[in-house]
Amino acid sequence: MLKQTEITDFFKRQLQIWPEAAARFTALDNVMTRHFDIDGFPVTISHNPARIQSSAAKVDKASIAARRCFLCDANRPPRQQHIDWRDYRILVNPFPILPEHFTIIAKEHRPQSIKGAIADMTQLAMLMPDFAIFYNGPACGASAPDHFHFQAVRKSALPMFSSDKLPFDIIRLSGEKASQHGVDAALDCLPRDGEESEPKVNIFCSSENGTPEITIIPRRRHRPDFYGEDGMLISPASIDLAGVIVAPRRSDFDSITPEIIKDIYSQLCFSRSEINSFQNDNTAH
Ligand SMILES: [Zn+2]
């Protein structure tokens, strides 16, 4: 059975033979950060210019169809190695946000959808107990919505894993409820747009004292209304909601305030009473 040490050893070997990726991990040590307390939740703003491609990514259907999928075997960089695990390949993310940042991709080119993937997610979390495995929905920060993938970073790097004072509400599933059935039941209660295959969500999975725990962050929208070249190029995905907001542009990094951070979270996420009302509406039917 695959062990966490094999994966972290693979990370070191990969960087030894891939200087471009190694340089971006080294650059993380010098990334400028600002720290804010958002009603008790510690938020870090990370000025990471290498992430501009992701934050400014066009993920509409036409743009995705017009580019080569960068996660498919034929198109990945020649120096990028992988560990095979079941129907997945474990890769080092060459555009990291945090130290030891992995991308876990499906071997086959198939769309980003959480349907049928929860057991794989919980087993990965059990194999990598110091890491959080996470999923960006196709309209919630995934820069390859056409090729199924998870990511993984150390739990200790994410404020959400050390603070329960979140400025938005989540759905947490532990023990037996941390299953595909539990997630499907939770997602069934959430609103979705007509053409969407699943509600807008980011999902985390981690091993807590040897038991899988799933955190679903339901979302109302993809990007804040001030997103754009003339506004702010901040495009939140799982890591941003977990307390590390990526600001690839210096002007956005300099001008962000606690009020803007609160506005981002309230535009993107739901409150406790909203999520309660979704769940109550559903049981009433
Ligand atoms: Zn692909």
Kindly report, residue by residue over 189-232, the tens digit of the pLDDT. Answer: 999 988 888 999 999 999 999 999 999 999 999 999 999 999 99
Q: Which two tokens stand for residue 163?
A: 């603070």
Q: How far is the CA of 163 from the centre of ligand 1 (A)?
A: 36
Gap between the Cα atoms of 202 and 170, Å rounded: 10
Q: How far is the CA of 161 from the centre of ligand 1 (A)?
A: 31
Residue 53: what pLDDT?
A: 79
Q: Is the pLDDT of residue 285 over 70?
A: no
Q: Order of strands across the sheet with 41-47?
A: 32-38, 41-47, 244-246
Q: How far is the CA of 242 from the centre of ligand 1 (A)?
A: 27
Q: How far is the CA of 147 from the centre of ligand 1 (A)?
A: 5
Q: How far is the CA of 151 from the centre of ligand 1 (A)?
A: 15
Q: How far is the CA of 84 from the centre of ligand 1 (A)?
A: 16
Gap between the Cα atoms of 132 and 196, Å rounded: 26
Q: Which two tokens stand for residue 205?
A: 């999975």
Q: Is the pLDDT of residue 97 over 90?
A: yes
Task: Using pLDDT thresholds of 50, 70 and 90, give the confidence band for residue 30.
Answer: very high
Q: What percent of the chain has pLDDT over 70?
A: 99
Averaged pLDDT for residues 151-155: 98
Q: How far is the CA of 69 from the centre of ligand 1 (A)?
A: 5
Q: How far is the CA of 106 from the centre of ligand 1 (A)?
A: 8
Residue 56: what pLDDT?
A: 81
Q: How far is the CA of 265 from the centre of ligand 1 (A)?
A: 31
| Residue in 113, 114, 119, 117 with CA at minimum distance from that of residue 145 | 113
Q: How far is the CA of 197 from the centre of ligand 1 (A)?
A: 19
User: Which residues have C-beta within 8 Å of that of residue 184, sequence separation ≥ 6?
Assistant: 115
Q: How far is the CA of 246 from the centre of ligand 1 (A)?
A: 25
Averaged pLDDT for residues 106-110: 97
Mean pLDDT estimate for the chain: 95
Q: Is the pLDDT of residue 76 over 60?
A: yes
Give the pairing type, strands 244-246 and 41-47: parallel
Task: Write down the residue that tokens 């997610």 correspond to.
Answer: 121
Q: How far is the CA of 145 from the centre of ligand 1 (A)?
A: 9
Kindly report, residue by residue over 164-195, the tens digit of the pLDDT. Answer: 899 999 999 999 999 999 999 999 999 998 88
Residue 284: what pLDDT?
A: 60
Neighbours of ion ligand 1 (CB under 5 A): 69, 71-72, 109, 147
| Residue in 233, 46, 5 with CA at minimum distance from that of residue 130 | 5
Q: Which two tokens stand for residue 144?
A: 């390859």
Task: Using pLDDT thresholds of 50, 70 and 90, give the confidence band for residue 133.
Answer: very high
| Residue in 118, 158, 119, 123 with CA at minimum distance from that of residue 135 | 118
**Burial of 89 per CB tally in 10 Å (0-12, 13-18, 19+):** buried
Radius of gyration of the chain, Cα coordinates, nearest whole angstrom: 18
Kindly report, residue by residue over 39-53, the tens digit of the pLDDT. Answer: 999 999 999 998 887
Kindly report, residue by residue over 231-264, the tens digit of the pLDDT. Answer: 999 999 999 999 999 999 999 999 999 999 999 9
Residue 5: what pLDDT?
A: 98
Residue 65: what pLDDT?
A: 87
Q: Which two tokens stand for residue 162?
A: 């050390």
Contact 152, 135 (CB under 8 A): no
> Going along the chain, which residue ranges are E strands?
32-38, 41-47, 83-85, 88-92, 102-106, 131-136, 149-154, 171-174, 201-208, 211-218, 244-246
Q: Is the pLDDT of residue 157 over 70?
A: yes
Q: How far is the CA of 61 from the centre of ligand 1 (A)?
A: 14
- DSSP structure string for 261-272: HHHHHHHHB--H
Q: What is the CATH number of the domain that holds 171?
A: 3.30.428.70
Task: Using pLDDT thresholds of 50, 70 and 90, give the confidence band for residue 64.
Answer: confident
Contact 234, 246 (CB under 8 A): yes
**Domain of 213?**
4-284
Q: How far is the CA of 38 from the centre of ligand 1 (A)?
A: 38
Number of domains in the chain: 1
